[in-house]
Structure 1
C-alpha cells in the first residue's frame, strides 16, 4: 500500500490515502466513480491533491473503499515516534552490588534526558550467587518473575516468587533476594522514580 504523504497538507494526505486504498483493492478510478457517483475527473483531482473535498464526498469514498471515515484520517497529524528498541541480548550490562558472583543486570532502556524516570532491568541469578545484596532507592519497584523460584525480602516480610508472579513495593524500604530456591532465576525489575517537583 502507498504510504500517505504527510508533507503536503491534508489534501495530499487524503489523496495518497484514497489512492492507496483503491489500488490495494485493485479498483480503477472508473470503478470508484461508479460506486460513489463522483466523476472520474473529480476523483483524479482528489487523488492528486488538486482540490479540497467535502465531508459528504469523503464519506462516499470511504464507503466505496470499505473503510470508515475515520480510517481516512487515522495517521494524519500523528506525532513522530521516538521509541527506543533494545534487541534481545543487547541490553547494557551494568555493575551493581552482587554482580561479581552469579548476578547479572541488563539495563533494557536508557533515559535520554536530564531526569531519570525509570530503569528496567533483566536480572539473572545462578546457583553461584552467594552474596545477597540489600538495596534502597527512591521510587517504586516492580518485579515480574520469568523463570526459577526465589524468596525475596522487603522490609520485615519475605515473599516466595515463581514464574508469572509479581511484586510491587516502595524502593526506600530495604529489599533484595533472601534465598534462591530454584535456579536459574530470571526476572524483570522496573524501578519508577518519583518525578521532581516543578
Structure 2
C-alpha cells in the first residue's frame, strides 16, 4: 500500500468520524460551519474524504464537536477483532480417557491451525462413586474451582480445593481428582502448551 492509499484511508476515517460525531449531537453542517468558521463546502468535502486538512482545521473541528484531537484518531488503524465466543452450555463435550458417568468436560475454545496453544475446559462432577484415572500431558495446567470441594492429586501431593481456590502445575507429572468431597463440583481447567513442542 502506498502513501496515497494510506492518506486516503485516513481522510475517509476522519470524515466518517466527524460525520458520526456531528450526527450524534444533532448538528448540521451549517451549525459546524458557524462554530468553526470553515465553509459548508469545505466541511462537506472533509466528511466525504475529498480533501486533506491541516492540523488547525482538525483542531477547530474537534473543539466544535467537544472532543479531543486524540479522540478523533482513537479507532484508526485498530486491527479487526476475531474473538471466539462460546455461549453457556454450548461448549463441545469431550470424552477424556477413563471418564465415565457423572463427569463431563466442555471445551470452551477451539484452536484453529496445526498447533494447539491452550485448551480451556469446564469440568463438572456429580457422581461420588466414580473412580478417576490419572492424567499426563505436555504443558502447564491451571485449575480454578467454581463450586464444591475436591481433593486433587499432583504427583505425590494432594490438595483440598474449595470454591475460589486455584492450582497451577506441570502437566507431565501424573495428576487428577483424588476424592470428591462436596458435590456438585465444577472447575475451569486451562492447559497451556509449549508450542515449540507440539505437533
TM-score (norm 2): 0.89
- Give 1:129 deviation, angstroms: 4.6
Distance in 2 separating the partners of 1:35 and 1:158: 71
Matching residue of 2:43? 43
Matching residue of 1:3? none
Tell me, yes or no, if the aligned pair for 1:101 and 1:128 is still in contact at 8 Å. Answer: no
Per-residue CA deviations over 1:100-133 (Å, capped at 9, x if unaligned) read 1211000111111011100000000113452122
Per-residue CA deviations over 1:130-161 (Å, capped at 9, x if unaligned) read 21221111111011111111111111222121
Distance in 1 separating the partners of 2:141 and 2:105: 15
Distance in 2 separating the partners of 1:130 and 1:140: 25
Give structure 1 regions of 4+ aligned residues with deviation exceeding 3 angstroms: none
Matching residue of 2:144? 144
Tell me, yes or no, if the aligned pair for 2:155 and 2:174 is still in contact at 8 Å. Answer: yes
Distance in 1 separating the partners of 2:65 and 2:136: 58
The number of residue pairs the alignment matches comes to 191
- The unaligned stretches of length 5 or more in structure 1 are 1-5
Distance in 2 separating the partners of 1:46 and 1:148: 61
3-state SS of the aligned residue for 1:196? helix
3-state SS of the aligned residue for 2:131? coil
Matching residue of 1:187? 187
RMSD: 1.7
TM-score (norm 1): 0.90
Matching residue of 1:168? 168
Matching residue of 1:55? 55
- Give 1:16 deviation, angstroms: 1.0
Distance in 1 separating the partners of 2:93 and 2:99: 10
More divergent stretch after superposition (87-96 vs 97-106): 97-106
- Give 1:39 deviation, angstroms: 2.1
Change (3 A) 1:129 1:24: farther
- Give 1:185 deviation, angstroms: 0.5
